[in-house]
Amino acid sequence: MAEDRAFRTAAWVGLALAAALSLAACGKGGNAEHAPERGDQAAAKVDGQTIWSSDVKREAVAQGLIGEGEPLDVSSDLFRRVLDEVVDQRLLAGEAVRRKLDKDPIAQRRMTAARDRVLGDMLVESVVSDAVNDNAVRGLYQEQLKLAKRSEEIHARQIVLPNAAEADAVRKLLATGASFEQLAMEKSTDAATRFNGGDLGYFTIDVMPEAYGAALKTAKPGQIVGPFAVEGGFALVKVEDRRVEQPITLEVARPQIVRFLTYDQIRDLLEKLRGRAKVQVMVKTDAPSQAIPPADAPKTGVSPAILPPAAAPAPPAKGAKK
């Protein structure tokens, strides 16, 4: 436990330097202190300076221990642990000020960089919170719903037999009223589907091998087609249902839509700021300067694929396209 604490303390030295200017400024402002947020409460004092519960929560969010907007109970073990870390940060910052490290030119530059990051984050949060709201999310969802091309989905079951003779024999049993699901479990050689009665789930023809597409193209619900040759044998397929491909719901699509709108707002904001500013790059680079988007950011100018099929089919027969 002591070693872990020492390790964390060493990692906080950089943060302490970034906090030093703020701490020094607090010392110049008199003794009166007011809660920085409504409902905030004092959690601790370090050399007369208050650490508020909101400070602890902000640190917990920064560490990824809780999400933005999630509550943090002041009586919880997590709150106490993060409070201890914030106290340690404040102590380190105070000692840095006492040693005049905040006057060091390198420290000043690092604190300026930290200030720029914080202010930039606050600007982005403000712009995004104003623009990325429920109306915007619903609007983009409805727009994509209109643009989405929806194919026809088929729900089917299959029985795969090793040869044509056995497939014909099973077809005759089905003609006498035998249960398709029961025969699939008893006789199908396709391990991916036999134990659930040959159920392939809902799928579009384009994801299946060519033989399935040809056999099922005009098949109606309730109809049994085959046997026809597939990789690994011969298949009998019963069509259970045909329907228009279902889009995902708004709630499922919401996180991706919010992500897209957020990146869109940030891109537009940066384009406007760069358009108003005079930016001179003083070093040679191999490529034009541009902001690097997060790995999962949608491509600029490309509408987000927010409405894929509602469900993927169960594994098809052997030889089905991946």
Other CB atoms closer than 10 Å to residue 62's CB: what's the count? 11
H helix or E strand, kind and range, residue 3 = helix 2-11
Percent of the chain with pLDDT over 90: 15
End-to-end CA distance of the chain: 50
H helix or E strand, kind and range, residue 114 = helix 105-131
Q: Specify the pLDDT at position 70.
A: 85
How far apart CA 72 and CA 23 sit, in angstroms, is 24
* Triad 174, 320, 228: Cα angle to 5°: 35
Is residue 308 helix, strand or coil? coil
Which pTM value belongs to this model?
0.47
Q: Specify the pLDDT at position 200.
A: 86
Spell 74-90 as b/e; 16+ CB within 10 A means b. Answer: eeeeebeebbebbbbbb
Identify the band that residue 5 occupies on the pLDDT scale cut at 50, 70 and 90. very low
Structure-model confidence comparison of residues 286 and 121, the more confident one: 121
Report whether pLDDT(303) > 80: no
How far apart CA 217 and CA 204 sit, in angstroms, is 10
Identify the band that residue 288 occupies on the pLDDT scale cut at 50, 70 and 90. low
All domains in the chain, ordered by first residue: 2-24+37-119 (no CATH), 152-244 (3.10.50.40)
Tokens of 295: 């790995």
- Could you tell me the sign of the dihedral formed by the alpha carbons of 295, 57, 79, 27, in that order? positive
Q: Are 159 and 235 in contact (CB under 8 A)?
A: yes
pLDDT in tens, 37-82: 888 889 998 888 899 999 999 899 888 898 877 888 999 999 999 9
Q: Are 163 and 276 in contact (CB under 8 A)?
A: no
Closest CA to 161 of 215, 236, 237, 212: 236
Closest CA to 198 of 216, 215, 180: 180
Q: Specify the pLDDT at position 127.
A: 85
Report whether pLDDT(175) > 80: yes
Q: Specify the pLDDT at position 290.
A: 55
Structure-model confidence comparison of residues 107 and 8, the more confident one: 107
Q: Rounded mean pLDDT of the chain?
A: 78
| DSSP-assigned beta bridge partners for residue 236 | 159
The secondary structure of residue 307, as a DSSP letter, is: -
Q: Which residues contact 62 (CB under 8 A, 6 or more apart)?
A: none
